[in-house]
A and B are shown apart, each in its own frame.
Chain A
Amino acid sequence: DQQVKQNSPSLSVQEGRISILNCDYTNSMFDYFLWYKKYPAEGPTFLISISSIKDKNEDGRFTVFLNKSAKHLSLHIVPSQPGDSAVYFCAATANSGYALNFGKGTSLLVTP
């Protein structure tokens, strides 16, 4: 069963606008969340993360918001750039482990 869900397979945004990627999870034991970015023929690369003790984490153009009561997190990219076009994976980890549970990914296309 999919414990991390990304319900939007794809998203298209104009350059300069905000991109919002959403992620839902079902396992209440998840306490650390990460976003990974993946270009074709490359492995995923870490983008940004958030601990369950916070509700927001910001790094440059990227901000992740966590709503624990709704079991929902989102990644905001402002402003979006063509180089941001990639597949974004939401991931979570539980308890004392380090292994990540991934969603199916959202393919972001930023058009000029």
Chain B
Amino acid sequence: EAGVAQSPRYKIIEKRQSVAFWCNPISGHATLYWYQQILGQGPKLLIQFQNNGVVDDSQLPKDRFSAERLKGVDSTLKIQPAKLEDSAVYLCASSPPTSYPRRQGEHTGELFFGEGSRLTVL
């Protein structure tokens, strides 16, 4: 089974430039997540999609970040304009929840992560 695919693996840009990251989840996975992991920190959720609808984007800096998941499969995360503090690894994950919302204490099903896209903003 193919895993979560992400590209590019590495990107270096100057501040105020724009960048886009692409993610292809595991086939059949309805839920897709974008996480930001700054060096020395744990991954932080940016946005969660269920099929092509947004479930949670409360921590997405909407003045500069945008994400879409057209047709409920691939997703793109864009940053425009980039700031120095956006330097991080951007992780895409997918999961196959069988019911939504889930019941209290129910097994959530693990999230499957891609290898990440490392962004350096100079």
Contact = CB atoms under 8 A, between A and B. Distances in A.
Contacts of A59: none
Contact of B101 (A89, A97, A101, A103): A97
Interface stretch (B11-19, B60-68, B71-79, B102-110): B102-110
Interface stretch (A14-22, A45-53, A71-79): A45-53
Contact of B43 (A6, A41, A42, A89): A89
Nearest to A2: B42
Contacts, number: 79
Interface residues of B, number: 34
A62 interface: no
Contact of B115 (A43, A46, A103): A43
A49 B42 contact: no
Interface in A63-112: 89, 91, 93, 95-105
B97 A43 contact: no
Given A93-B108, A99-B45, A41 B102 contact: no
Contacts of B105: 31-32, 51-53
A42 to B, nearest CB: 6
B44 A102 contact: yes
What are the 10 A-B residue pairs with the smallest beta carbon separation, nearest first? A96-B101, A43-B113, A102-B42, A46-B110, A53-B105, A51-B105, A102-B43, A104-B42, A99-B48, A31-B105
